[in-house]
């Protein structure tokens, strides 16, 4: 039996009878709906719903988009992403010509074990080495190479990590794609969940000074080893890319982004902005690996700049706080702020 949450006519953003592509709420709702379309495509596949029985098409047809192609995982043949193409030629730059969407982990069906494996890859900071990401980034590159630049990247949970990694990779090639990332995972101690504000703030200050101190020590060691060879700072090179992050305080998977960006402002106020700017570019685990001479990769969650939207509406449980449906509802209390390094 089909889930009500998969049925657009029952759970979709039907209030968007007229689309205003300059409206941030409309843009957020459309991006989230496209991600939901990928989830439903995978469930259509699992439950063998085809033709008129398929539930996925309304999730993009409603917004005047066609399904351009599906992104299929080579390990389990699951649908993990999709490329949507605007039916009419976009009249303004605010309307994307294509939207590339990635779903998160599905907990039922044959895709769960593969998704769980990739969740672990994310935690280990090796998602970029997975074949799924190779398929994803090649699809993005092919679309850009065809002359399209007005492209959106969007994803939810594991899919938002995939979209973020794709966005960061394209920035290295001088291409900045609009990105809408829902409940992006943040690998860190859950400091944001601490209720006592003084304790929480104290832990963040201590963590910032420890991380910054380790960063300086590792940098000095590297300079001696490399004879002070200078290069570009890959973290600061990302500053011109401003992804849109959507997080819920009740979701421990992504809530740490609230403290990650908010703590910068507090450190500026006490005159320790330089310490925090340095600390926000590194993770303690990565610095430790560098210190002992082992190769490490920049943690995916580290960002110099972002537009952060926080859902302040109270969620009933973790499932609701982490869910994609909240991001197109019109009864949510949202607060947005742009943070720059």
What backbone phi and psi angles, to 5 degrees, belong to 79?
Answer: -90, 115
Is 130 a member of any domain? Answer: yes
Is 49 a member of any domain? Answer: yes
Largest CA distance in the chain: 66
Is 176 a member of any domain? Answer: yes
Is 236 a member of any domain? Answer: no
Domain limits at 94?
4-182
What's the structural domain count of the chain? Answer: 1
Is 107 a member of any domain? Answer: yes
β-pair type (244-247, 334-339): unpaired
Is 108 a member of any domain? Answer: yes
Is 247 a member of any domain? Answer: no
Is 221 a member of any domain? Answer: no
b/e 114-146 (16+ beta carbons within 10 angstroms → b) = bbeebbebbeebebbebebbebbbebbeebbee
Residue by residue, pLDDT tens for the chain (341 residues) are 578 999 999 999 999 999 999 999 999 999 999 999 999 999 999 999 999 999 999 999 999 999 999 999 999 999 999 999 999 888 778 899 999 999 999 988 889 999 999 999 998 889 999 999 999 999 999 999 998 889 999 999 999 999 999 999 999 999 999 999 999 999 865 655 666 666 555 555 555 544 544 445 445 444 544 444 445 667 778 899 999 999 999 999 999 999 888 866 655 665 655 545 555 555 544 444 444 444 446 678 889 899 999 999 999 999 999 999 999 999 999 999 999 87
d(CA 47, CA 38) in angstroms, rounded, equals 14
Q: H or E segment at 282? A: none
Give me 171's structure tokens.
């920035």
271: phi > 0 → left, psi -120 to 50 → alpha, else beta; which? left
């Amino acid at each position: 039996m089909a889930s009500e949450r998969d049925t657009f006519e029952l759970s979709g953003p039907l209030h968007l009878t007229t689309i205003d592509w300059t409206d941030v709420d409309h843009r957020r709702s459309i991006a989230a709906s496209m991600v939901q379309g990928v989830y439903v495509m995978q469930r259509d596949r699992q439950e063998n719903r085809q033709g008129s029985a398929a539930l996925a098409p309304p999730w993009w047809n409603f917004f005047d988009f066609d399904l351009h192609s599906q992104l299929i995982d080579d390990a389990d043949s699951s649908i993990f992403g999709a490329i949507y193409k605007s039916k009419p030629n976009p009249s303004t730059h605010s309307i994307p010509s294509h939207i590339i969407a990635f779903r998160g982990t599905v907990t039922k069906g044959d895709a769960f074990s593969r998704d769980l494996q990739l969740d672990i890859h994310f935690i280990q900071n090796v998602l970029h080495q997975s074949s799924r990401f190779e398929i994803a980034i090649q699809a993005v590159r092919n679309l850009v190479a065809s002359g399209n630049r007005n492209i959106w990247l969007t994803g939810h949970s594991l899919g938002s990590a995939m979209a973020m990694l794709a966005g960061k990779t394209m920035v290295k090639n001088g291409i900045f794609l609009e990105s809408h990332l829902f409940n992006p995972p943040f690998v860190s101690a859950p400091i944001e969940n601490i209720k006592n504000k003084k304790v929480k703030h104290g832990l963040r200050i201590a963590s910032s000074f420890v991380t910054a101190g380790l960063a300086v020590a590792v940098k000095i060691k590297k300079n001696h080893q490399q004879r002070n060879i200078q290069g570009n700072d890959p973290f600061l090179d990302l500053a011109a890319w401003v992804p849109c992050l959507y997080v819920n305080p009740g979701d421990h998977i992504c809530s740490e982004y609230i403290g990650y960006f908010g703590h910068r402002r507090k450190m500026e106020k006490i005159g320790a902005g330089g310490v925090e700017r340095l600390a926000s570019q590194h993770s303690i685990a990565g610095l430790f690996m560098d210190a002992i001479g082992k190769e490490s990769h920049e943690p995916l969650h580290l960002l110099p700049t972002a537009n952060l939207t926080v859902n302040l509406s109270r969620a009933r449980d973790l499932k609701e706080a982490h869910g994609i449906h909240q991001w197109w509802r019109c009864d949510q209390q949202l607060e947005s702020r742009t943070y720059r390094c």
